[in-house]
Structure 1
Amino acid sequence: MASKKDNIIFLAMRLIKEKGFLSLSYDDISKELGITKAAVHYYFERKEDLGVAVCEKLEAGLLESYERTLNQMTDHQGEPWYFIESRIDTIRPNEICPISSLQGDYEDLPESMKNILEEISKNEMELWASLVRQYSPNLDNDDIARTILLSVKGALQYRRVLDGRAFENMMSSIQTQFYRSLSSEGGS
């Protein structure tokens, strides 16, 4: 069973995916969890502290997705696309990628959050590109990996506005382009 602190972090992450960090309030958290604002402040004195905890949870999730995907690829039971799918599975249709959401608020974030968000952003790109390189070692550059990741993030934004079928079509097209690009570059 998750601790009260973990529940606060998970709820904050969900709210960030729905409306961004800047719109997140301790009042929202306390009402939804049925606790006092003082209880939220007990675990996270400042909103910045909560934001850093969310970023740390995001980083851990990225690494877990990478490790699972890498293990599946090593066992010849998976492909790099599993990394994308595992990340999307954590985002409901009315939400966007939490990293993208935080990036949207970047200029107004506290310095400590900016620093960790920069690291998460670099790591997300590098972990995905690393999986693509391992799957397709003959690929000369990371342009395909970057383009695909950014396309997926854009599709997640559009999913909030358009219906689920449009999102499925976008993702199918992105995945097709991904594997077609790897094939044309001499990949697996």
Structure 2
Amino acid sequence: MKLTMMQEKILNTAESLIQKMGYNAFSYKDIALIVGIKTSSIHYYYPTKEDLAVAVIDWQLERVLIVLNELKLNSALSLQEKLLYAVDVILSLTLRDEMKMCLGGILASDVLSLPEKLKNRVRHFFNALEQWIKELLDAENYKNNSFDSLYSKDNLPKYLLIQIEGGLLMSRLYHDFTYIEIVKQFIKKMD
């Protein structure tokens, strides 16, 4: 996605505001004040708030997948190391930066009030992350050595997303990274 410098400033600011406060708690006026532009400049690029939020989620997903896909190809790392690094990538975009929530997670929490197009983009966001985990498990020839179907190749991507999102939410609520550390411990013990 080729962006102008102004679009990047707008998207970066909108991304931060959404991750801190949610979709319904920010306005174009908030962005305009932070960026130092008029709201009409935002409307020029993103006519509606929905258009802006869709652009934000697509922009973040594109950036995250570039990093994760490079990680998937790194043959020097084990499956667990790749998953732990992926968690760190997510942390760098969230809690480690002003205790922000995962963009997909905070938008999902607003799902009942989101426009349909944005709901679909949030679903796409999580589907893409789940697909990345599935592809990683396939690339690493992951085999479930447990009799518990929870850890099957079909269920494990969902389970990991649930764990990561829940860990982020609880860590943010309590300002305590123990919840994320528990997720990391689970990953380290995967066989």
TM-score (norm 2): 0.83
The counterpart of 1:42, out of the listed 41, 44, 51, is 44
Q: 2:136 corresponds to which residue?
A: 131
In the TM superposition, 1:36-185 aligns within 5 A as: 36-72=38-74, 74-76=75-77, 79-91=82-94, 92-139=97-144, 140-163=152-175, 166-167=176-177, 169-180=178-189, 182-183=190-191
Question: Between Structure 1 and Structure 2, how many residues are aligned?
Answer: 178
In the TM superposition, 1:8-47 aligns within 5 A as: 8-47=10-49
Compute the RMSD of aligned alpha carbons: 2.1
C-alpha contact (below 8 Å) 2:167/2:183 kept by paired residues: no
Deviation at 1:122, TM superposition (A): 1.1
Identity among equivalent positions (%) equals 21
Structure 1 runs (4+) deviating above 6 angstroms are: none
Aligned partner letter, 1:109: L
SS of the equivalent of 1:126 reads: helix
Q: 2:147 corresponds to which residue?
A: none
Rounded to whole Å, the distance in 1 between the matches of 2:154 and 2:138 is: 8
CA deviation digits over 1:96-129, x for unaligned, max 9? Answer: 0000011111222222212222211211112123
Gaps in structure 2 of 5+ consecutive residues: 145-151
Rounded to whole Å, the distance in 2 between the matches of 1:156 and 1:80 is: 15
